Amino acid sequence: MATHAHTDAVHDDHDHKPHGWRRWVFSTNHKDIGTMYLVFACTMFFVGGTMALIIRAELFEPGLQFVDPQFFNSMTAMHALVMIFGAIMPAWVGLANWLIPMQIGAPDMALPRLNNLSFWILPFAFMLLLGTLFVPGGAPAGGWTMYPPLALQAGDSFPMMIFAIHLMGASSILGAINVVVTVMNMRAPGMNLLKMPLFVWTWLITAYLLVAVMPVLAGAVTMLLTDHYFGTSFFAASGGGDPVMFQHIFWFFGHPEVYIMILPAFGVVSEIIPTFSRKPLFGYESMVYATAAIGFLSFIVWAHHMFTVGMPLAGQLFFMLATMLISVPTGVKIFNWCATMTRGSLTFEPPMLFALAFLFLFTIGGFSGLMLAIVPADFQYQDSYFVVAHFHYVLVPGSLFAIVGAVYYWLPKWVGRMYDQKLAKVHFWLSAIFVNVLFFPQHFLGLAGMPRRIPDYATQFADWNMVSSIGAFGFGFSQLLLPYIIIKCVKSGAPAPARAWDSAHGLEWELPSPAPFHSWETPPSAAVIARGAEH
Amino acid sequence: MIRTIQRSGTAFAAVVLALLAAPAHAESGWHLLNMPVGVTELSKKIYGLHMMIFWWCVAIGIVVFGWMIWAIVAFRKSKGAVANTAMVHSTKAEIIWTLIPVAILVAMAVPSARVLIDIEDARNTELTIKVTAYQWKWQYQYLGTDVAYFSTLAHESNSARELQSGIDPATVPNYLLDVDNPLVVPAGVKVRLLVTAQDVIHSWWVPEFGMKKDAIPGLVNEMWFKVDADKTGRYRGQCAELCGRDHGFMPIVVDVMSREDFDAWLTARKAAVKQAAAAPSTSATIS
Amino acid sequence: MSEPREELRRANARLGARLGLMTLGSFAFGFALVPLYDVFCTITGFGNQKALAQASAVVPEVEDDSRTVTVEFVAELPTVGNWVFRPVQGSMQVHPGKLYQADFIAKNLTGHDTVAQAVPSIAPGNVAGYFHKTECFCFTPQKFSKDEERVMPVRFIVDRALPKHLDRITLAYTFYDQSIGTGS
Ligand code: HEM
Ligand SMILES: [Cu+2]
Ligand SMILES: [Cu+2]
């Protein structure tokens, strides 16, 4: 703290920023917490990525070369849990922390202490989860879906996993509550709901989904726990329970969960494409309604993950139609983005490249999703590599590319420096090429009959598996460029102007770069809001 | 920048060529790109449905990707494109791109529902086999007879699949897709399977038959298939639901025989059971 | 701190608390899904298999001679070797609307007195709503003394409203010995 004298509210920031480790451990500042979330997510992304590479190394050729099948199963289960709850979701919460207050004209998140708590739960949750790798019996190996009775055949890892999931769930619920309260109560005067940027909108809907379904997951795993240790039989046929019921409850959480991971991505893409098309977003209101429609529909399609458990005709038809219906609002979004680019003036900076790859590759994931919705065909696809290809197309070039695109878009605002765009473009091209080498052949494998979650396979699957593994290593190592580019930017990037992209709109670009410690100490004026709101 | 892309492109092409030129595996798999048409009444309908949806997706893809590429090529700032910032909304366009997808979905849903109804029609089956899944093997039991046996991974595969076994899988015939005792069924007959499990959930899947069904402890599921009369032969599949350590090692092999051969086989099996009948208890106690 | 700030802080806490209550509500809903699941299965015709474990109030009606349905009986033992458990007859031809009886035989080979519980299941699943049992050995736990062998009846009526596209029903029982840990 150099001085207590200050003249200008905007330069207030040096005033009460603690230094050293206290700044982080006791942080109640949305930017510092956002940074911690993002660093945590990035770390977990590399942890989960390492597990993925172990999987792909074993699958490089037929025969078991490196790991025991049980450990292989642990890797698939842990990879999914780490990526979903450790990488993608915390990354979204981190971005929400950084961006929502700046975008709605607020000084900070509404509940700063809760914010601190919701972040600091995460390292403990993941210490528990990753700790299972070292206990007798090994880490959970029953898939991230934890279907009983298999999930109950676990050793000491079982209660640790359940407790870790409770903690992660609590963390994301607290994060979601904070987002809702911030958006509802902290908007600057004049920033009405339909002026909010789409990132805020999509996050608001995501937050409601989180509050609605994370506790259901908590309930489901609690029942697993009591079945295991306290003699209940929610899911044990021998005691009058039903193992299929777990799947219904799990997917009642699980399907909204996949939308929790993708809705904020829709928001990010809706910010990046207009900026680099130099044109407002086409169909802003229909984008908002489409997001709400997707959020609603996500509650009534869960059984499409379990068509093969045996369902009566009426149930199959209902879930097939409801699932197909989701592609309508999703299509509206894709068309609106295309229309935004039409008659624009396009440039291709790294965020735009990632957004465009999102557009192309997410659409491919949407196509395979539509195919999976067709029940008779799903009897073939279900639990094959085709499903693996589908959800990776929506999660990797979908959610992950949107996160990376968001980082490349807002990084100059966060640190006040521009990163090496050339290198970021190299990162982009390597990612975009390898992600397809990695996942596209998995469609072929699944259709040809290769089941998912197997450590070894018949020789006719060897060729495409080898290609996929090469893609995996290419993709994995290319990602090391991301932290390198960020560190280089923080250390030695050229200073960035307040409006880092000439055509960027939104309140965050009205703040200086780097953004002050407290975003909008005094709410933005009506004129500033109007300038920012030209979505 | 461009040079980097070119270089990585060349490198990638080299890798692919090297792979293609690599010594051929026991059987090459490059041509395996699509779902098998299969050999049953239903598998063909399912394949037809799959291809219909696929072509719909290709058609939609041509429109959507075409639009994206056109926008990217035609409206570049570097080519002097100027943004039309007034183009923010068009109710008409938005209604069109809501209604057309709905129409396409209906066009997809109707044939799908039809096939689904066919699948549900389990009338007039002539043979019922109970399939019970265990960690990690299958048991087949011909209902109404005392014929019942286990089917496990074949010995050669089982040795080769050990961690660092030193055996090249390419030298093992039908590596991981071979069993000691295959399921035997007649061609041209509607066969019904009752699928269940004893420990955890498994799933019985033979891609050439078009279907899979989960095997769930405490619950009996039903599925049926009718292999074309002229499609006798051997068909292979695998357990499709994660069931623990050896989930990847419980394959399914089905021998489809002509009706006469099947009858002969079953008669021989029944006789063998009678001979071996030391213990009087049958059915579920067979182990 | 100025008044409006204090006001805002209170409003935030209120909304936060309300969302906290929503969270608790969702958690409770997760558990409510357990009973709701049975309701859901009954309403949607998913087939509420749990209803099979209870006596049905349905009384025999006029039988439908014009229709014959095959009912198959299947016995499952999760603990191979300790028990004999099998149907007396493998299948029966029945007319909807009429009351029938089928028998299962069980013998306790565990070497001690024990209690077993049969858990019923029916295929196809949605038939559960059309299969009425007036009496069944699965309604209550069955006590068996050492080496006891017993014939256990199930009496049932197939509903006349059974969908026309069905001609075969499988009634299966899994026989769980409660003195032997099963499942996990
Ligand atoms: C066009 C929209 C989409 C449709 C119609 C769709 C449809 C489906 C269907 C039917 C399945 C079940 C497949 C099976 O197990 O047989 C599935 C699985 C999955 N989907 Fe999607 N999906 C869509 C978008 C998404 C999005 C946006 C995400 C996430 C970002 C996603 C993530 C997943 C995941 C993670 C699974 C697999 C879960 C598992 O079994 O472990 N999907 N999808
Ligand atoms: Cu889903
Ligand atoms: Cu299995």
The DSSP secondary structure of A344-411, one letter per residue, reads: S-B---HHHHHHHHHHHHHHHHHHHHHHHHSHHHHHHHTTBHHHHHHHHHHIIIIIIHHHHHHHHHHH
Burial of residue B237, with CB atoms counted within 10 A of its CB: 0-12 exposed, 13-18 middle, 19 or more buried: buried
Q: B194 to chain C: which residues are within 8 Å by CB? A: 74, 123, 170, 172
| Cα–Cα distance measured from residue A140 to residue A164, given in angstroms and rounded to the nearest whole number | 12
Same domain, B132 and B270: yes
A57 touches chain B (CB under 8 A): no
Hey, are the CB atoms on C123 and B220 less than 8 Å from each other?
Answer: yes
Angle formed by the axes of helices A481-492 and A401-415, nearest 10°? 10
Per-residue pLDDT of chain B (287 residues; tens, 9 = 90+): 445 445 555 555 555 555 544 444 446 788 889 999 999 999 999 999 999 999 999 999 999 999 999 999 999 999 998 988 888 888 999 999 999 999 999 999 999 999 999 998 888 899 999 999 999 999 999 998 889 999 999 999 999 999 988 889 999 999 999 999 999 999 999 999 999 999 999 999 999 999 899 999 988 999 999 999 999 999 999 999 999 999 999 999 999 999 999 999 999 999 999 888 755 554 444 43
Residue nearest ligand 1's atom 37 by CA = A391
> Is A518 among the residues known to form the active site?
no
Residue C39: its pLDDT value, please?
82
Size of interface A-C (CB pairs under 8 A): 116
Same domain, B100 and B131: no
Q: How far is CA B212 from CA B127, B135, B183, B224, C74, in A?
A: 18, 18, 15, 10, 21
Same domain, B114 and B225: no
Q: B192 to chain C: which residues are within 8 Å by CB? A: 168
> Is A171 among the residues known to form the active site?
yes
Task: Name the 3-class secondary structure at A281.
Answer: coil
> Is A286 among the residues known to form the active site?
no
Same domain, B159 and B221: yes
pLDDT for C65-96, tens place per residue? Answer: 888 999 999 988 876 668 889 899 889 999 99
Structure tokens at A489: 């930017």
Q: What's the CATH number where B201 sits?
A: 2.60.40.420
Same domain, B52 and B131: no
B68: domain range? 2-80+91-120
pLDDT band of residue C55 (cuts 50, 70, 90) is confident
Cβ of A304 less than 6 Å from ligand 1: yes
| Cα–Cα distance measured from residue A47 to residue A45, given in angstroms and rounded to the nearest whole number | 5
Position A363, amino acid: T
Closest CA to A236 of B246, C86, C55, B199: B199
| Cα–Cα distance measured from residue A383 to residue B239, given in angstroms and rounded to the nearest whole number | 10
A286 to chain B, closest Cα gap in Å: 8
Position C62, amino acid: V
Q: C121 to chain B: which residues are within 8 Å by CB? A: 196, 218-220
Of C74, C87, C183, the CB nearest to B220: C74
> Is A203 among the residues known to form the active site?
no
Report yes or no on B283 lying in a domain. Answer: no
The number of distinct structural domains making up chain B is 2
Cβ of A206 less than 6 Å from ligand 1: no
Same domain, B61 and B172: no
So what's the ipTM on this one?
Answer: 0.91
Report yes or no on B227 lying in a domain. Answer: yes
Check if the beta carbon of residue A402 is closer than 8 Å to that of residue A264. yes
- Pairing of the two strands B221-226 and B183-186: unpaired
Task: Name the 3-class secondary structure at B81.
Answer: coil
Report yes or no on B74 lying in a domain. Answer: yes
C126 touches chain B (CB under 8 A): no
Report yes or no on B281 lying in a domain. Answer: no
Same domain, B101 and B48: yes
pLDDT band of residue C127 (cuts 50, 70, 90) is confident
Report yes or no on B198 lying in a domain. Answer: yes
* Centre of ligand 3 from the C-alpha of residue B157, in Å: 17
Same domain, B54 and B185: no
CB atoms within 10 A of CB A113: 11
Report yes or no on B280 lying in a domain. Answer: no
For chain A, residues with pLDDT lower than 70 are 1-16, 533-535
Of B132, B220, B285, the CB nearest to C170: B220
- Pairing of the two strands B251-257 and C142-144: unpaired
> How many helices (H) and strands (E) in chain B?
5, 10
Report yes or no on B286 lying in a domain. Answer: no
Strand partners, C142: C116
Residue A281: its pLDDT value, please?
94
Chains that touch B (3 or more CB pairs under 8 A): A, C
Hey, are the CB atoms on A453 and B57 less than 8 Å from each other?
Answer: no
| Cα–Cα distance measured from residue B60 to residue A369, given in angstroms and rounded to the nearest whole number | 14
Report yes or no on B219 lying in a domain. Answer: yes
Same domain, B109 and B201: no
Check if the beta carbon of residue C69 is closer than 8 Å to that of residue C92. no
pLDDT for B22-36, tens place per residue? Answer: 444 446 788 889 999
Cβ of A478 less than 6 Å from ligand 1: no
Burial of residue B163, with CB atoms counted within 10 A of its CB: 0-12 exposed, 13-18 middle, 19 or more buried: middle
Q: Judged by CB atoms within 8 Å, which residues 119-148 of A form the interface with B?
A: 141-143, 147
Q: Residue holding tokens 């069924």?
A: B185
Hey, are the CB atoms on C86 and B128 less than 8 Å from each other?
Answer: no
Of B125, B217, B221, the CB nearest to C168: B125
Same domain, B140 and B270: yes
Size of interface B-C (CB pairs under 8 A): 76
Strand partners, B141: B130, B148
> Is A4 among the residues known to form the active site?
no
Q: Hey, which of A130-134, C33-37, C84-88, C128-132 has the most confident mean pLDDT? A: A130-134
Same domain, B154 and B105: no
Q: What's the CATH number where B113 sits?
A: 1.10.287
Check if the beta carbon of residue A209 is closer than 8 Å to that of residue A298. yes
pLDDT band of residue C141 (cuts 50, 70, 90) is confident
> Is A144 among the residues known to form the active site?
yes
Q: A181 to chain C: which residues are within 8 Å by CB? A: 12, 15-16, 19
Residue A9: its pLDDT value, please?
39
